[in-house]
Amino acid sequence: MMLQRILRWTIGLPIAIVVVSFAIANRQWVTISFDPFSRDAPFAAMDMPLWVLFFCGVFFGLIAGWIACWFAQSKWRRSAKDTRRELARAQEQTSQLRRENIAPPDNFL
């Protein structure tokens, strides 16, 4: 537990320092244009600090990676679901066989 905390601080603090330094160093504003045909008067444009653009890109990259992994793992989720269904069916058959084995025969007396 203590080792995890030390490791977290040893890795997290330098990353935080780099991120804050990056944001401070890139305070200039940039214009983001979504119109590929007109540079002078774009149809859709947005002004934002460069660091905001960078972090938005990182955020959307993380989301896209998460979605891609989710779709890539669908076969494993389907397999687990089928296995759970098969296990439930086997347990039901086992309990049914135990009930039949414990119950007295019909022509007992």
Question: Per DSSP, what are the bridge partners of residue 45?
Answer: 33
d(CA 79, CA 96): 26
For residue 74, is it within any domain? no
For residue 99, is it within any domain? no
pLDDT score of 59: 94
For residue 96, is it within any domain? no
For residue 102, is it within any domain? no
| Enclosing H/E stretch for 73 | none
| Domains held by the chain: number | 1
pLDDT score of 109: 57
What are the Cα distances from residue 31, in Å, to 4, 24, 28, 49, 98?
A: 42, 18, 10, 9, 73
pLDDT score of 87: 97
Residue 28's domain comprises 1-34+41-68
For residue 109, is it within any domain? no
**pLDDT in tens for each of the 109 residues of the chain?**
788 889 888 998 999 899 889 888 888 898 888 888 877 778 888 899 988 888 899 999 999 999 999 999 999 999 999 999 999 999 999 999 888 887 666 665 5
For residue 95, is it within any domain? no
